[in-house]
Structure 1
Amino acid sequence: MRIKKTMSCKAIEYNCISDSFNKSYLPKIGDVALFEVLEIGKHKTVQLSNKRNATILQGDKILGSFANRYATAQFEGYLPDQPTEILDILGAGGAIGIVKSKNAAFHDIEPTKLKLLGFALDDNQQIINTIYNQTQRKVFRGEVPNQAKVILSLGSTMDSGKTTSAAYLARGIKNNNKKVAFIKLTGTCYSKDKDLVYDCGADISIDFMDAGFPSTFLINLSDLKDLYQTLLDQLIPHNPDYIVMEIADGLVQKETEELIRDGDFMKTVSDIVLSCGDSLAVFWGVDFLNKLGKKPTVIAGRFTMSPLLIDEVSKRVPIPVKTLEGLMDKSIIQLFS
């Protein structure tokens, strides 16, 4: 039976799979291992290294990497705190760990269960780790390629519309014949978001996986800033005029809040697009950012599906509200010039 190599391990080649570490080694984020599917739960497919979503069945073998996950609408999961044989799929891109909590929408759905078969070893018989495996780490220096304008796409919470706003904004900027790059800086491995922005017109679309991170939950601030610089430097050959960048989850998620409170990080950001699910989220989100000395340039997100909610917000917040049509309109660039 063929091994299904997940997106989290897309750049990985290994010498062998060994079970010699299974009972004594405590895995780190990015460690690569082979797993057998024991029981199908929430995840019935995994995204392969070629981006194809492959059906998985009991008995299948998948190559994945250990990770943490923070997803308020899905799973909260962590690396095991002791050598563990039975694990869970945390994300379809091949993030593997142990589920701690789940959204009530999945109260009767268990995570897909895996058995650890062995770790992937290199030619020196060392466990392979995905992080910076194929990419040189760059220390944060706050340099943006081509002095591009960085537009930060933030959201009130998961599924508030951050990626969609970023994608349609990229389209609007591209409609002005500008070179647009997209970075998804944080999240859990799965290429859907960066693929959407690319499909909408971005000239290049990259994310944390392009530096080998299967997820960024619980990565410290210094490492996140180095990851940011590493991704920025990958854009140098493309000479972008604008970089649209998404940070996952909501404003008060750990890594998100740390980044937007960091002065050196925010010095690289020209503008903010805030996406929200309802009017109260807009009011609180704008106030939260204002207290940090930041004012969104545009407000967007799921709430703009409702003309009534747009009216509620527009009457109370002196910031342009844009629907998807407004974001991709050629005139949008006037707000970011």
Structure 2
Amino acid sequence: MLPVATAQHGTTAPGAVREVDALPRRDDLDPVRLNRAKKAYTTRHLAARIDDDPSGYALLSGPGVVPQPGDVVLARVDEIGLHAKLESPVSRRQTLFPGDEVLIAYGHRYAPDQFEAEVPGDLRPLHLVAAGGLAGFVTAKHDDVDDPTVVRPVGLLADAEGIVTLQRSAPRRTGGRGPATGGRPRVIGVLGTSMNAGKSTTVNFLIRGLAQSGLRVSAGKATGTGAGSDPHGFLDAGAAEVLDFTDFGYATTFRLDHDQVRSIFVSLLEELSVPGTDVIVVEIADGLYQGETKRLLADPVFARHVDQVVFASSGALGAVAGVEVLRSHELHVSAVSGVVTSAPLAVRETREVLDVPVVNTYELADPDVARALL
């Protein structure tokens, strides 16, 4: 595993075309080579453009190149670790081999069950820290996971306008004010105690139940790390419209300024409020104490837009604490679900101490159960 170092970060306006701090080396990129590189899910909107026309791209390298979150990099796989497969733009798992060139995006990573990682201040060798295609330098990892896959940047992708970023390629833009107050769809937020508390599964089965009951459901994920499994799962469950933060040009929301996170959240809700939508189900990643989630909950904008919350917990104590936190922010908790409901004893404990319904995750797919939450 590569040694840990402290990253240096700059600031760039979202979506801006950015040049580098000093004169870099600029090498034209052979279109055949660019086509051959394995593209990541996080770069899918850019990948579609490359498929249409792979010409006109170059690689920027050298000591003056300081990567930023969202920059797209062509990197070579040096050593296979935890992530031995890269999720493609269509969510196919591409097997990685040493020597492969991959098109991925820089970003910070927050995953208590895997890695904490940050964007370094230069083009040093670093890690593939998420299968969806996130490049970062690991500063800490869970004891039970393998070392990360090591990649070596060849250069930042550039075109005639400058460094290529995810936001420049994104089909959606932030800046919305959220759904109109009059007659807007009902919004259900799904939050949880932590990573792997069952949030995405809860969302999927809740969507299924609501859609089976005859409602038109839109779904989105406002924060987290880019991966295709969540939006594809929402679609499979029956959501008519699906978006997540990657559609706005963010590979991850970890360490974004609060204004950016809030803008993603309200813009996502606005975009999902298409005519005819009855309910929007929106997932907020990680746990209530994660920095971006904590600040979003404390913002009155969240309670103004979210009508009720289904809370996913891994245990009874977490459920009680989570409901207390959510209520302190004036949020209505309509049910507790998630991993806790896989254990009958844990369900019994939770029901004994909470005045909130505890609903088995899979039962949410029942139209009557899901509709009753409204």
Name the TM tier (shorter chain). Answer: over 0.9
Unaligned runs of 5+ in 2: 1-32
Aligned to 2:149: 112
Name the stretch that deviates more: 131-140 or 256-265.
Answer: 131-140
CA contact (8 A) 1:155 1:275 kept: yes
Q: Distance in 1 between matches of 2:107 and 2:84?
A: 19
- Which residue of the other structure, out of 56, 60, 68, is the alignment partner of 1:28? 68
- Which residue of the other structure, out of 176, 182, 194, is the alignment partner of 1:157? 194
One-letter identity of the residue aligned with 1:18: L
One-letter identity of the residue aligned with 1:94: G
One-letter identity of the residue aligned with 1:63: L
CA contact (8 A) 1:179 1:240 kept: yes
Aligned to 1:75: 115
1:132 to 1:155, Cα distance in 2 relative to 1, 3 A:
farther
Q: Distance in 1 between matches of 2:58 and 2:209?
A: 47
Q: Distance in 1 between matches of 2:123 and 2:310?
A: 42
Aligned to 1:329: 366
Matched, 1:276 2:313: yes
CA contact (8 A) 2:273 2:280 kept: no
Matched, 1:99 2:133: no
Aligned to 2:128: 89
Q: Distance in 1 between matches of 2:347 and 2:39?
A: 44
Q: 1:141: Cα distance to partner? A: 1.7
Residue by residue, what CA displacement relative to the aligned partner does 1:186-220 show, whole Å, maximum 9, x if unpaired? 11111111211221221222211111111000111
One-letter identity of the residue aligned with 2:142: N
CA contact (8 A) 1:9 1:63 kept: yes
Percent identity over paired residues:
30
Q: Distance in 2 between matches of 1:116 and 1:253?
A: 30
Residue by residue, what CA displacement relative to the aligned partner does 1:13-51 show, whole Å, maximum 9, x if unpaired? 4632323x3321211111011000001011100011122
CA contact (8 A) 1:167 1:196 kept: yes
Residue by residue, what CA displacement relative to the aligned partner does 1:269-317 show, whole Å, maximum 9, x if unpaired? 0110000001111111112222222231100010101111111111110
Matched, 1:221 2:258: yes
What's the secondary structure of 1:229's corresponding residue?
helix
TM-score (ref. length: structure 2): 0.85
One-letter identity of the residue aligned with 1:66: Y
Aligned to 2:341: 304
Q: Distance in 2 between matches of 1:198 and 1:144?
A: 24
Aligned to 1:142: 178
What's the secondary structure of 1:167's corresponding residue?
helix
- Which residue of the other structure, out of 286, 292, 300, is the alignment partner of 2:323? 286
Q: Distance in 2 between matches of 1:62 and 1:238?
A: 39
Unaligned runs of 5+ in 1: none
Name the stretch that deviates more: 293-302 or 90-99.
Answer: 293-302
Matched, 1:207 2:244: yes
Name the stretch that deviates more: 150-159 or 128-137.
Answer: 128-137
Residue by residue, what CA displacement relative to the aligned partner does 1:141-179 show, whole Å, maximum 9, x if unpaired? 232596111100000000001111111010110111111
1:4 to 1:236, Cα distance in 2 relative to 1, 3 A:
same
Name the stretch that deviates more: 237-246 or 262-271.
Answer: 237-246
Q: 1:239: Cα distance to partner? A: 3.3
Aligned-CA RMSD value: 1.7
One-letter identity of the residue aligned with 1:5: K
Matched, 1:37 2:71: no
More relative contact order, 1 or 2 (CA 8 Å, 6+ apart): 1
Aligned to 1:52: 92
- Which residue of the other structure, out of 131, 135, 156, is the alignment partner of 2:167? 131
- Which residue of the other structure, out of 37, 54, 57, is the alignment partner of 1:16? 57
One-letter identity of the residue aligned with 2:155: G
One-letter identity of the residue aligned with 2:359: K
Q: Distance in 2 between matches of 1:79 and 1:131?
A: 17
What's the secondary structure of 1:285's corresponding residue?
helix
Matched, 1:254 2:291: yes
